[in-house]
Structure 1
Amino acid sequence: ANPSAASRDSRVALSDRLISMVMRVLLGTIRPLTGICFEIVYRLFVKRRRVPPLESPLLGMSAVALADAIRRREVTSEAVVRASIDRMRLVHPIINAVVWERYEAALQDARRVDAMLDSDPDNPEWSREAKPFLGVPATVKEAFGLVGGTQSVGLWLRTSIRSERDAVCVERMKSAGCIPLCLTNVSELCMWWESHNRVNGITGNPYDSRRIAGGSSGGEGANVGAGCAPVGLGSDIGGSIRMPAFFNGVFGHKATAYMIPNAGQYPDAIAEGRYFMLSGPIVSHAEDLLPMVRLMAGPENSARLLIRPSDPRPDVKRLKIYYMEDSGDSIWCSPVEPRIRECIRQAAEHLRADLGLPVQKVQLRKLRLSPHLWSSKMKLSGEERFAVQMGGGVKLNCYLELIKWCLLRSHHTLPAIGLGLFEQFGSENLDRRLAAICDQLKAEMEELLGDDGVLLYPAHPTSAPYHHQPLTLLFNFAYTGIFNVLGLPATSIPMGLDHKGMPIGLQAVANMHNDRYTLLLAELLENKFGGWVRP
């Protein structure tokens, strides 16, 4: 062995430990202090607003149940769509989720559905198998193409752009009978976990308008959580479906890598980012998850996932349950709140005691590196640099933009400018070493989960923070983001409200192509713990 190399490695290890200790003290001091400041400001100077209770029982039904009722002529599609539109108009001043609407066109679509059912009620084209969401209202994240709609994704340079065709997932939703009502708000270029931009403003949480709805599919999460529509279309590259679902008390699913297409979305992944980013559903009822994933994945990928109508329902008795209450000894993420830990323990105990499933607490040490693993994989993905996207194809000078922001002259948000600056730093060698650790973690998880395992894990360490507070909690997204770079399916599952009256929950993670297990678990836990708590 080389003594000098060993001595150098020892010094590096000591230096790493010292830096870690210093950062732990700093972050352990700064986080609570900034949290207290946000608490004081918002409690004293900003009034809490909560969306009103649901006006119509139709708003509390699942999409599948609504479609069945429409099919049986117990209710008209027009009545359902009108109830959703009325609800959106009522809550919009509180949550600011809708950025473009087609309400009159949607009502015309609904009337056509009703007319077709009246004239030919037994036509097999209207069956549950052919159109599982017949006549049901849906909302769509503004990142997706919807004919005639905006697609600014919160970028000032794109305010005049209109979609000329539907995104693939929008086409598939329409073919399944969904009636799109509107497009919903996002974070700038869909790369931050609060939905705020200079074009459409900031989206509030339906349970407390002072708090975030999440991002980047925050408008979808807020709309579905507020009871405006039973189903919505989002996308997820770092938790952008699962975080809004968690913050707004509903369900969201990120599928196995490559299983749901992004075509027609902006910005789209063009290289390795296609492995990380997927379109997917946000829904208020767990029974809508499977049919939504099935229609979005398409016939070929549904066959790979074993979620076709002809595939047998998974045998719950086969499942093995593993759980973790946090990511380990990470200094970068907030501590997991006690009530969220309790949710995970309650879910695990229910599955053990009531269903007789084997349950084991585990600790995957590499998960504590989640922020670094996600970042390294993103940097090595070959995707277009964020600063180039901000400049509309020309690299934006983010240093100059930061100065303009300080002078209130910028058309960009601080998180977007910060990301444009952050991506310029780092070492490719370090990124490759971290990417190798990420690959090792994936192998460990695949071995642990096998063909019948599900991991219960926090979807986020805290309930929804106040607006702009994520700037002090930068890396909390890594609880969801890590499963994007691992390519594993993950479902966000609501588990009630915390002491602040805010939604909390967990996420269930399975091995590649085992989405059916996490979707099944969502139904089981909804049956036990109640799922979505109506505002």
Structure 2
Amino acid sequence: MADAKAPIHADDAWSGASALDIAAAIRRGETSAHEQCDLAIARIERLDDRLNAVVVRDFDRARSAAQAADQALPNGDRRPLLGVPITVKEAFDVAGLPTTWGLAEGRGNIADSDAVAVQRLKAAGAIILGKTNVAPGLGDWQSDNPVYGRTNNPWDVSRTAGGSSGGSAAALAAHIIPLELGSDIGGSIRVPSSFCGVWGHKPSYGIADAHGHRYPGSDGAPQPLGVIGPMARTAADLAAALDILADASLDRADAGLDLRGKRLLLIDAHPSAPLDPAVRVALDRVADAAIAGGADVARSSDLLPDLAAQHRAFGKMLAITFARGAPAPDGRAASLADWFDMLDAQARNRRAWGRLFEAFDAVIAPANVVAAFPHRDDPYHERRMTVDGQDVAYDAQLVWAGVATYPGLPATTFPAAVPSDGLPIGVQVIADFRADHRAIAIAHLLHGALR
């Protein structure tokens, strides 16, 4: 019987390569789109029985697209992802493939067009191999649903890969593919990235068109709070994919070349939930590396918004968004006036964060209250967690996601530590609104300092 804690990682010659490295090698003639496609398909067929990450497969069309990419190369095609095999989260429409969001009632929902983000990745030359597993309705930190079953963590298959982009993170961590397309409202990019030891970026709200990432039966209106964004194994791939997905060019001028002079605020406590000691150790490790690299790291600031009040406001908006306006358990539905008041409060909160970012380049915070936890089968609304010896609600995992989600700020999660139990822990770097490349760049610098 296989050891649950034996990490699952592909080990062929190209399995650890980044998307940009693969694209560059294809341009140089060192490999081909067809070879990279076949290698990625072989990894899926070899590894995915234990992971259940790539749950919708589109290999025939992928091979045809790879052949077309190879034929385009001699004609001068230099698209940034030409020939790179990738997968996308199941929640995104890909023409001819199912989009169920992991819901039984979504079976039979076949997309007739590609999501805008999928169109942009294809236009950049990427080869779509298929789609990766999700939490049901994208509403859990496990990717386990009645349509496709459960995705396992490549570091320990007895544990969750996270959710809702859990299949995405697992496929990356197992070195099956180098780049993924995810989405995030309650940590759905950041938590799986942390649990699986990969990179993920939650963009600033509204900078990437989410059309085609739609709840089955809805008609594609933008989701309040929610964003779509890239997941990868390197910061460079995140930045390149973000530029492909974004509606407008994003400034990279303030990225910087090193940590010297960077002003960072580290937050390691939230009034609404405790934090696992191993996560705090990872944060301390990041802070020490930042200081050693010449950064100024503060651990408190009077400019920080009231996190407890922000979390309560976030919870109200999130509940209305997920319920799509249906009455709360107490039978009361929010009025339009209530919603406008919430939008005003959200705008005030974003301005408060803007004042903080006049004093700091970025905020360092946990990606979640815990590392990857064992699979749960108990009913969602009955779940409790033990965090640092305290019994807390399962939804305590929303607290660190909401820090960036509620004000619509960009946040990059990167792998910061692998403690003795072998489970990775990620940390998120939060930057000012639309300073997405700053978040990615500072995360890259911190990761480099750790190494």
TM-score range (shorter-chain normalised) is 0.7 to 0.9
The Cα shift of 1:187 comes to 1.1
1:213 and 2:161 aligned: yes
Residue 4 of structure 2 corresponds to: 48
What corresponds to 2:315 in structure 1?
375
- Counterpart residue number, 2:389: none
Written as runs of structure 1 = structure 2, the 5 A alignment for 1:371-410 is: 371-379=311-319, 384-385=324-325
Deviations along 1:8-48, one digit per CA (max 9) or x if unpaired, are: xxxxxxxxxxxxxxxxxxxxxxxxxxxxxxxxxxxxx9962
Which has the larger Rg?
1
Letter in 2 for 1:279: I
Counterpart of 1:359 (choices 297, 301, 320) is: 297
1:283 to 232, 242, 250: 232
Is 2:305 the partner of 1:349? no
Distance in 2, matches of 1:423 and 1:318, equals: 51
Relative to structure 1, is the Cα distance of residues 424 and 56 closer, same or farther in structure 2, using a 3 angstrom cutoff? farther
SS at match of 1:222: helix
Residue 33 of structure 1 corresponds to none
Give matches, 1:118-517, under 5 Å: 119-120=74-75, 123=76, 125-126=77-78, 131-267=79-215, 274-298=223-247, 301-302=248-249, 305-307=250-252, 313-314=255-256, 316=258, 317=260, 319-327=262-270, 329-330=271-272, 333=273, 335-354=274-293, 356-362=294-300, 364=304, 366-369=306-309, 371-379=311-319, 384-385=324-325, 422=329, 440-450=348-358, 453-468=361-376, 471-472=383-384, 473-517=394-438
**Deviation, structure 1 residue 477:** 2.3
Is the Cα contact below 8 Å between 2:417 and 2:425 reproduced in 1? yes
Q: Secondary structure at the match of 2:14?
A: helix
Normalised by the length of structure 2, the TM-score is: 0.88
Report the AA paired with residue 340 of structure 1.
V
> Which residue of 2 is the match for residue 72 of structure 1?
28
Residue 100 of structure 1: SS of its match in structure 2?
strand
Query: Do the aligned partners of 1:320 and 1:357 also contact (CA within 8 Å) in 2?
Result: yes
Deviations 1:116-143 (A, max 9, x none): 32x43xx1x32xxxx1111111110111
After superposing the two structures, state which structure 1 stretch, 517-526 or 420-429, moved more: 420-429
Match of 1:529 in 2: 450
Matched with 1:398 is none
Query: For 2:220 and 2:116, how far apart are their aligned partners in 1?
Result: 16
Superposition deviation, residue 490 in structure 1: 0.5
What's the TM-score, normalizing by structure 1?
A: 0.74
Q: Provide the secondary structure at the position in 2 that maps to 1:282.
A: strand
**Structure 1 residues 98 and 425: alpha-carbon distance in aligned structure 2, compared to 1, 3 A threshold:** farther
Report how far residue 478 of structure 1 moved. Answer: 2.3
> 1:93-130: CA deviations, max 9, x gaps?
1111122101122122222222332x43xx1x32xxxx
Q: For 1:434-488, what per-residue CA distance to the aligned partner results, in whole angstroms no more than 9, with x for missing partners?
A: 8776555433322111285200000011101111277322221221133212111
Runs (5+) with no aligned partner, structure 1: 1-44, 388-419, 531-535
Distance 1:284 1:203 in 2: 19
The amino acid across from 1:265 in the alignment is: H
Question: Matched residue pairs, number?
Answer: 432
Q: Tell me, in whole angstroms, the C-alpha distance in 2 between the residues paired with 1:67 and 1:477.
A: 36
Aligned CA RMSD, in angstroms, stands at: 2.8
Offset from partner CA, 1:488-521 (integer Å, 9 cap, x none): 1111111131222111021000111111111101
Seen in structure 2, the aligned counterparts of structure 1 residues 260 and 383 have a Cα distance that, compared at 3 Å, is farther
- Residues in 2 aligned to 1:49 and 1:424: alpha-carbon distance in whole angstroms: 46
Higher helix proportion (structure 1 or 2): 1
Task: State the one-letter code of the partner of 1:177.
Answer: G
Question: Residue 211 of structure 1: CA displacement?
Answer: 0.8
Give the CA deviation at 1:224.
Answer: 0.8
Q: Which runs of 5+ in 2 are unaligned?
A: 385-393
